[in-house]
Chains A and B, each alone.
Chain A
Amino acid sequence: MPHKPPTAEELERRKIVGINEETITDVSSTDYPGHYPGEDHSWDIEAFRRGFRIEFHKNDPFEASFSLIGIDASIANAFRRIMIADIPTLAIETVFINNNTSVIQDEVLSHRLGLIPFKGGHKGLHKFLKWWRRPSDESQVNNSYYDYNTVSLRLEVKCEHNEKAAPGETDPTKLYKHAHVYARDIEFCPVGRQSKYFSGDDAIAPVNPDILIAKLRPGQEISLSMHMHKGVGSDHAKFSPVATASYRLMPVIKIERPILGADAEKFARCFPRGVIALEKVTKKEAAQKGSGYEGHEGEFKAVVADPMRDTVSRECLRHEEFRGKVKLGRRRDHFIYLVESTGQWESDAIFLEAVAHLKKRAQDLEKQVINMVR
């Protein structure tokens, strides 16, 4: 039997993950050589270039959203995982406490300090700063800190009575000086070439100056210095450049038979606002035999307006009146990413960095494989 190439309809069907009331179907991708007899699904870089596209939905420094269309889940997931765990950032790693008479314990205070996201000049952060490695000889630790691998910070706060406070004042922030310790109280101490890369707007500083670190009362004091190092999210979440980096698959809603009148309004309420729109049945549609619109001219019908806003709650599948009229699914090769940066990188730059990182990893391993054969 000669093989017929798949129709466009068939190719479209293969891309959909079916979502039923209680079950899901067609979960795995099938675009491998040998899966469909007579069809070639081998890797073709030009075919990939033609079929792959990216669309932006939002591009702010702290939040970017974009779609990768025409790529496999294994690659999309690699990008997501790299963004979370493998893109380096600078964070507080060591805290040297000189004096801490506040009620918050040294280790808890240190942990809070570590989690504060910092920003700084991009060139300095990404190009100038290198990894710090703990020397194998423990006695050499103090000789391992350089301007290119360690950033020094200080926090010196002392709480005192405020003599100028009005009598009867009860607000601690007015009654005392430095009752609250904020991230903005952390002082950057540049060393060596750091003043060249991190000065003015490029200085190392907390992304959000209003993060509350501790509360003090008169007589209490926090005096400490800190070392920041570059690290990755797989070591500690504080090094992750993103608050979240996630993707979801594009929802597909297919209305197979007309949903009209009051049913259409109820149908629209089964979805988040904006997903389903109501349109009037036109004269032409009503005249068409077998369309299901006969004699319904002027009535409202449900149409899919914006499936991307859907949460795929399956609510519409619970109602008897929609049975057999609607099919839900998700597009297997359409990934809607949401990347929220913590501030050290631009959100879109994190993704680009992740792609570059994957390339570098593959490149390094290729060298390793060649080396292994030799």
Chain B
Amino acid sequence: MPRAKAKKEEPVEAGSDVDMEEAPTSHQPENTDDMSVDQDDNDEEEGFEEDEEDEEDDVQRVRLLPGSTPTAASFEFLNEGHTLGNALRYIIMKNPDVEFCAYAIPHPSEAKMNVRIQTFEGTTAIQALQKGLQDLQELCDIVTDKFIDARERYAATTSS
């Protein structure tokens, strides 16, 4: 019964063993620069999403988490969720230079999404992330083209 055991141990751990290094990265103290990012983020949540053209938001939404090396890095995305997280994970995993890629939402009440990328020698995690985002855009173009084609073909068959 591993569950019962864990429960017993909890009170002992509670006082002594809350080590900041072991806490999830999203709970680690952020430096002052990042605090300002957080505040801007709150402003954003009060309104709606970003505007299409007129107001380009300069808020930095992507951040490299501490402990990252060139070939093994964790990124934190603000205001992203499973929608982009899983799609991005898939397309980065399709990169043969990537050894490992996964995404997580550390806590549901924080609008944060983390992506972990580990690459083989010869490329960097940041390059892999960029390639993933570019591949995703190309994919969207093809889906749009094929969708419009299919819709026209369907309209031609039903109208005649």
Contact = CB atoms under 8 A, between A and B. Distances in A.
B47 A358 contact: no
Contacts of B63: 372
A326 B124 CA distance: 49
B144 A356 contact: yes
Residue with the greatest number of chain B CB neighbours at <10 A, chosen from A72, A351, A369: A369
Interface in B95-111: 95-96
A365 B62 contact: yes
A362 B48 CA distance: 19
Given A43-B95, A130-B54, A82 B83 contact: yes
B86 A359 contact: no
A372 B84 contact: no
A88 to B, nearest CB: 8
B151 A56 contact: yes
A351 to B, nearest CB: 7
Contacts of A368: 60-62
Contact of B137 (A34, A42, A359): A359
B56 to A, nearest CB: 9
Given A59-B155, A348-B151, A368-B60, A74 B90 contact: yes
B61 A78 contact: no
A49 interface: yes
A362 B96 CA distance: 20
A93 B75 CA distance: 36
B35 interface: no
A366 B86 contact: no
B72 interface: no
Contacts of B51: 130-131
B38 interface: no
A351 B147 contact: yes
Interface in A69-126: 71-72, 74-75, 77-79, 81-82, 85-86, 88
Contacts of A66: 147, 150
A146 interface: no
B93 A366 contact: no
A232 to B, nearest CB: 6
Interface residues of A, number: 60
Interface residues of B, number: 54
A248 B148 CA distance: 21
Interface string B69-101: 000000001001011101111110111100000
Contact of B140 (A31, A132, A230, A355): A355
A78 B144 contact: no
A81 B83 contact: yes
Nearest to B62: A368
A371 interface: yes
A356 B46 CA distance: 25
B105 to A, nearest CB: 13
Contacts of A373: 126
A193 to B, nearest CB: 15
Interface of B: 43, 46-52, 54, 60-64, 77, 80, 82-84, 86-91, 93-96, 126, 129-130, 133-144, 146-151, 153-155, 158
28 contacts: A31-B94, A32-B93, A32-B94, A33-B96, A34-B96, A40-B96, A43-B94, A48-B142, A53-B150, A54-B146, A54-B150, A72-B90, A74-B87, A74-B89, A77-B83, A79-B143, A82-B83, A86-B49, A88-B48, A88-B49, A231-B48, A355-B147, A358-B140, A359-B136, A363-B137, A365-B133, A366-B130, A372-B64
Q: Which 9 A-B pairs have the closest CB atoms?
A: A56-B154, A133-B47, A43-B94, A359-B140, A74-B90, A54-B150, A33-B96, A78-B87, A42-B96
